[in-house]
Structure 1
Amino acid sequence: MNTPFNGLPQGSDRIVYVREVPVTDLPEEVREQMGGLEVIWSVHGADGRQLALVADRRLAFHLAREHDFTPVSVH
């Protein structure tokens, strides 16, 4: 399969990665604000920089799209 792939329509600078994060992996001051959640979702830029922490996956994807990013799941 030698078909060239030119990337997503928005370009690589408009992609963000969404992944699940156990609350136990967060710093203590952030854990205190989680209100009993066991996992949250993190949105990261293509450079790995954390852009946001949100309560659920659907919200993470919505937030990315609202800011004209293309969200991609990271497993």
Structure 2
Amino acid sequence: MKTMDDRTVLLSHGLMNATDFANWGMPAIAYFKHEDNGGQGGWSIHAADGTVIGAAPSRDTAFAAILQHDMEPMSVH
């Protein structure tokens, strides 16, 4: 797995432009994170570029929904 330093090197050497970097992982990766909406927790699901693409009532449901759409789930802390 690449570290932030590796990504910076890719960008600084011109191997990847900013648009390519922003789209890196799309549409193969989806992120999910816990949301606290006024005491009612839930999980938001985001595309690799940060666009919200869904929501789920539980972590397990978010994880399953991402897998169901042939994407790799990644948790955001």
The alignment's TM-score, normalised by the length of structure 1, stands at 0.66
Aligned CA RMSD, in angstroms, stands at 1.8
Percent of residue pairs bearing the same amino acid type: 31
What are the residue-to-residue correspondences of 1:1-16 with 2, within 5 Å?
12-13=25-26, 14-16=28-30
- Give the number of the structure whose residues are more often helix, by fraction: 2
Q: After the TM superposition, list the runs of 4 or more consecutive aligned residues in structure 1 that deviate by more than 4 angstroms.
A: none
Partner of 1:18: 32
Residue 12 of structure 1: SS of its match in structure 2?
coil
SS at match of 2:45: strand
Equivalent of 1:42 in 33, 41, 44: 44
- Give me the whole-angstrom Cα distance separating, in 1, the residues matched to 2:72 and 2:43: 16
TM-score, scaled to structure 2: 0.64
